[in-house]
Chain A
Amino acid sequence: MVSKTKRALALVLTAMMAASALAGCGPNNGGGTQNSAASANEGGTASQAAVQDINDPKVKEKIINAMAKEAEANGGKIELTLWCSGDDKPFEKTLVDAFEKEYANSNYEFKITIRNAYGEDKAGGKVIENPKEAADVFNMADDQLSQLVTAKAIAEVGSLFQGNVVANNTDDAVEVCSVNGTAYAFPKTSDNGYFMYYDKRVFKDDEVGCLDDMIKKANENGKSVYFNITGPWYMTAFFFTAGCEITYDVTKDKQVATFNTDQGLAAGKAICHIAESQGKGFEGSPGTVGDNAFVQQGFKEGTLAAAVIGTWAGPTIKEAIGVENVGAAKLPTVLMDGEQKQLDSFGGYKVVGVNAFTKFPVSSQALAYYLTNEDSQIKRYQERGYIPTNKKALEDDTIKNDTALKAIEAQMPYAHPQGTSVGGTYWAVKPETIGSEAYDKKGKLTDDRIKEILQNVVTQLEGE
């Protein structure tokens, strides 16, 4: 009893601490400048000199001159390659065109190629594999940053750009872009996390708090609630919720995930508990088609009433059931250790990095900065629905009232930053096995089997 109260108290305290720390980055808070000053101090090089505004014509001239020098060594051409995610390409193309106009100069011409073969999930790994021929500028998820730094494949953000990045983006966004106090990437979007979309015709806004109740209601309507327990990224939520320690130490390249504890067992059992409803109001796996396709098709055919997924699914869901019927909320509570607990989640960022081996370091940094500045972020929200990291962009009225953003903000106190929680090894050891097996056996796993699976995950991590 004592331990339970203690744990609950600890949870509340952590939540409060998290909330207070995060309040600073919310759009409703006016204290942005103070925060930026504080983090600029951590930023090292940028702290001493006052931040030079990149839109200042003098600064811009300095950049253009440096770019011209790079072009000179390459016959007057600035040749860059940009990697972005599949469907983003047409949109990123418009930004690149705008960049070429903004930095146009008679001393050089641009030749910027956009390729979308390697999305944000793969880009970092591909750059490490062969940095000399990888893209000069690439989009990626923030958790690849630490490996890129270890592999010496990503360039530091120049102090001039760094000052602007620090001043204009939320503290959390700046933090995930930094390793040991040095910024290595440009924050782009803050929505690389998950929350819940639901069909308002099935659930009223106050009915989306408890997963068990939702499953029951969905089942009565002949529909399902979707949570991909076979996906490592999603099912880790249960282990965060149970209080397992999941951390990644960049400098030592050491992954810790205490799944072989009582908390781990509780998480495993909670997964099994919801898996019991598989096919009866709950859907735990997308099959081989992947989350996006599954969610899209589910809403279109009316088999899904709610789904745990991220902003990228928003447009297709809206198209399927109509904007007015789409609701978004933080994750529901789940039954764990006999009580209802709020589900935690990953909260991540998507960032833009510059290749350390690029022939055009200045031009690449200028492009990376341009792709993530205030205007670009607002446009990206308008066109693609991605939530900005830029403080001013977050003040924008339509963005402020976005349902998805509100859901993300509500989930934020329970979101764990991806970059310091997990490194590549975590995904490599297939932590989702517990979810897959629970799904496959409809939750009928013995405690011993749960322990065995979780122990195997830990053993593999230690063996790495």
Chain B
Amino acid sequence: MTNTQSAAMKSGYAARRKAANIIIYVILSIMVIIWLFPIVWLVMRSFSGDNLIAPKNFFPTEWTFDNYINLFAVWDSEANAWVDPDPFPYGKWLLNTFIVAVCSAVISTLIILMISYAFSRLRFKTRKTFLNFGLILGMFPGFMSMAATYNIMEIFGLKQSLVGLVIVYSAGAGLGYQVSKGFFDTIPRSLDEAAKIDGATRNQIFWVIILPLSKPIIVYTALTTFLSPWADYIFVSYFMKDNQENYTVAVGLYNMLEPNYIANYFTRFCAGAVLIAVPITILFVIMQRFYVAGVTGGAVKG
């Protein structure tokens, strides 16, 4: 094989490769446009002065920031003052969701870590039984027993309350131990053994040795439990019923699209949706490696 031949082969190969790459660039660009279209459209609508739901133009004919302002206060020209945006107190809902998300993230993370540590590192007689029960309970459709949960909360005097919501979310977290159990399984047992020889109790091992090693899984658990209340519509809408002051943003935003309201509130819905989507998106983009680690770590373990 002479040099020229090899060079020709190389350049032919390079050309083919270049052509393939160009095709991939084209495909990727088209896909990105398709994928971003609805989101950019949503942002455009949120800045739109008209209230059109199905405009012919992609960009608003009239730009405004009012939709965002109206989420928190509406100008009452008669009273000459800012008033609460009555049927949809978005600010209140935002606060509700934030409180619920933070509280349930803290409690749920603790519960999940406790349970998965017990299942992963401790050996006791009823361990298998509990694992099986956990598996079985997880297979019932989540909202099959919503009505009964509501009745129980009524007994405790916690129906339609944010505290009740936090409790239900945290209680359900007890079944979400698989991923973090998988993570704990990967921490070498020799660490425990060594500590035990040094006279540490299991309690100390948990706090001093295992938890500091579990940063990724703690972040992953906290992240997922923090995010879920922002997106939960089904249970909250059933649980809060007519108590609009205690709605979360998901229920509130959904209600803005009811036939009675959509005509007047659609662009406001868009603004509200953008407002919660931005921080969550940023959070997720930053934390994505923890997310991947969590899911695949669990997946590898099976």
Contact = CB atoms under 8 A, between A and B. Distances in A.
A142 B260 CA distance: 19
* Ranked 10 nearest A-B pairs via Cβ: A290-B259, A293-B263, A117-B242, A296-B263, A115-B242, A293-B262, A86-B260, A289-B262, A292-B263, A117-B244
A89 B261 CA distance: 13
A289 B259 contact: yes
B259 A292 contact: yes
A84 to B, nearest CB: 11
Contact of A89 (B53, B86, B241): B86
Contact of A116 (B52, B87, B159, B259): B87
Given A115-B243, A297-B53, A289 B87 contact: no
B154 interface: yes
Contact of B242 (A118, A286, A290, A297): A118
A290 B260 contact: yes
A126 to B, nearest CB: 8
Contact of B154 (A81, A133, A301): A133
Taking chain B's interface residues, is the majority helix, strand, or loop, or is none over half, making it mixed?
loop
B239 to A, nearest CB: 13
A258 interface: no
Contact of B263 (A85, A90, A316): A316
Given A115-B244, A117-B241, A86 B259 contact: no
Interface of A: 81, 83, 85-87, 89-90, 115-119, 126, 133, 135, 286, 289-294, 296-297, 301, 316
A286 B255 CA distance: 18
Given A83-B242, A290-B262, 10 more contacts: A87-B260, A89-B86, A90-B86, A119-B260, A133-B154, A133-B241, A289-B263, A290-B260, A294-B263, A297-B51
Nearest to B76: A90
Question: Which residue of A89, A119, A292 has the most chain B CB atoms within 10 A of its CB atom?
Answer: A292
11 contacts: A86-B87, A87-B261, A117-B243, A117-B255, A119-B260, A133-B159, A286-B259, A293-B53, A293-B263, A297-B51, A297-B52
A89 B85 CA distance: 12
A297 B263 contact: yes
A107 B80 CA distance: 36
B242 A292 contact: no
Interface in B65-112: 86-87
A444 B67 CA distance: 43
A298 to B, nearest CB: 10
Contacts of A286: 259
Contacts of B159: 133
Of the four ranges (under 10, 10 to 19, 20 to 34, 35 or more), the interface on chain B belongs to 20 to 34
A296 B260 CA distance: 11
B285 to A, nearest CB: 31
Interface string B214-253: 0000000000000000000000000001111000000000
B82 to A, nearest CB: 15
A310 B243 CA distance: 29
Contacts of A115: 242-244
Contacts of B263: 289-290, 292-294, 296-297, 316
Given A86-B261, A289-B263, A116 B53 contact: no
Interface string B182-210: 00000000000000000000000000000
A89 B258 CA distance: 16
A293 B244 contact: no
Question: Which residue of A118, A135, A289 has the most chain B CB atoms within 10 A of its CB atom?
Answer: A289
B238 to A, nearest CB: 11
A256 B255 CA distance: 34
A301 B159 CA distance: 45
B260 A85 contact: yes
Nearest to A90: B86
Question: Which residue of A115, A117, A118, A292 has the most chain B CB atoms within 10 A of its CB atom?
Answer: A117
A433 to B, nearest CB: 19
Nearest to B56: A301
Contacts of A126: 241-242
Nearest to A313: B263
Interface string B46-67: 0000011110000000000000
Contacts of A297: 51-54, 263
A291 B87 contact: no
Contacts of B259: 286, 289-293
Contacts of B241: 117, 126, 133
A336 B87 CA distance: 44
Contacts of B243: 115, 117
A135 B255 CA distance: 20
A291 B262 CA distance: 10
A405 B155 CA distance: 49
Interface string B153-178: 01000010000000000000000000
A78 to B, nearest CB: 19
A335 to B, nearest CB: 30
Contacts of A290: 258-260, 262-263
Nearest to A291: B259
Interface in B247-290: 255, 258-263, 266
A138 to B, nearest CB: 10
